[in-house]
Structure 1
């Protein structure tokens, strides 16, 4: 299976000092979404270049995918919050700690694909920078949700998309998804709408309650026949909370 890792683009990878692995994820079939509508969204930067998305858990904590941290060094990582552009505006804060789930395994399966980032200094909350609440229950099949990111808008485009995109997708039957892909994930899909390269680590949010239900992990192609696969936030809720408590000081 071809894993849609969310690297931002071939151009960005070549320009970066660290090489990010290759499966693909970016928003396909979506539309521009103002940051004030998704103020929890951040861009994870490596040497100033977008590599993944992330979600604001608190003023010093970002949640993302573990695979976003492969082949990067902590000294080069920062996040940009409060801007619809990954390359300008908002607030940029360096990452102090990056903790991947201890059971995370790289290819080919990407299980336990979650990570916690601790920032060097707190974000300043405003209309464009807000934390998101973690879901308490895995959503039922048919739940409408929103996923956002700066990834490719067309599979294979390999072109950095400068402005934040969002798309509505529907949660698939969780039991069927977990049977096919593992207990730690949920699946979401829509006709000709999906994540693609550069969206990894970004938020999947339930509507209308606007809670974080998933973290973009992988998929097989972009807006093809196969659904996007997301780390199930409810499954990881206890680990996330305990890891944050241990590392936030």
Structure 2
């Protein structure tokens, strides 16, 4: 799930490239949303709501590699088409779960995974696929992130879907903000004052508002809305890996 990079600002000075792992999946400062406004959003169910995910086709879900840690595939399913993570919509079992083979749990590099469903989703106004961005987003791109995660750091999962609008941050500025913590070429950053994704939003979608294309997958950060951008897997960077993984497993 979403790994906490630091437990206090004082630790930043002591860190090298490594980060301190801990549970953190990160929506703060947002608002309630109807699933019909983000019909590509799903919840991944293991022990209750575990992570977010994104519909790419009737049988393919994109999520974060960290969401597969410790998962028992026999108990893993997806709920689509509901604003509530615990009821309604369509629930389908996960047949295959394929994390990126070079995922690094310490740095969160290559934090992306493909799920193949046991049976197809039925598309309607509340269940729809989303197109992938074919280029990394420019700094300043207005985006929307959604999920059922905490509304404050170390808070609680919310029963209904929330979303918040953010802006993509220049990659070099993001690297400066994080200092010695690695922000690698497969990551993008997004932020807005007092707004962020948070714990249990991991694997969920970051979508460009202008063209409604998927630009990122919620990955990690420092606490939530703590003065640092949120970090997302850059979907355009992984486009070939996503395409090839789907072809090989469906």
Cα separation, 2, equivalents of 1:192 and 1:75: 39
User: Which whole-Å CA distance do the structure 2 matches of 1:25 and 1:150 have between them?
Assistant: 10
Shift in Å, 1:106: 1.3
Offset from partner CA, 1:181-204 (integer Å, 9 cap, x none): 001000000000001111000000
* TM-superposed deviation, 1:154: 1.2
Q: What's the CA shift for 1:124?
A: 0.1
**Could you tell me which residue of structure 2 aligns to residue 80 of structure 1?**
79
Q: Which residue of 2 aligns with 1:95?
A: 94
Where does residue 24 of structure 1 map in the other structure?
24
Task: Summarize the alignment of residues 99-248 of structure 1 with structure 2, pairs less than 5 Å apart.
Answer: 99-107=98-106, 109-157=107-155, 159-177=156-174, 181-248=183-250
Q: 1:178 to 1:123 in 2, by over 3 A?
A: farther
Contact between 1:137 and 1:234, CA under 8 Å: does it hold in 2? yes
> What secondary structure is seen at the aligned counterpart in 2 of 1:243?
helix
Runs of 4 or more consecutive aligned structure 1 residues displaced over 2 Å after TM superposition: 2-5, 174-180
Please say if residues 186 and 237 of structure 2, whose CA atoms lie closer than 8 Å, have aligned partners that are also in contact. yes
- How many Å apart are 1:175 and its aligned residue? 4.4
TM-score (norm 1): 0.89
Query: Quick check: 2:30–2:162 contact (8 Å CA) kept in 1?
Result: yes
Q: Which runs of 5+ in 2 are unaligned?
A: 6-20, 177-181
Contact 2:131 2:214 in 1 (8 A): yes
Corresponding residue for 1:10? Answer: none
TM-score, structure 2 normalization: 0.88
Q: Which SS does the other structure have where 1:230 is aligned?
A: strand
What is the CA distance between 1:208 and its match in structure 2?
A: 1.5
Q: CA deviation at 1:26?
A: 3.3
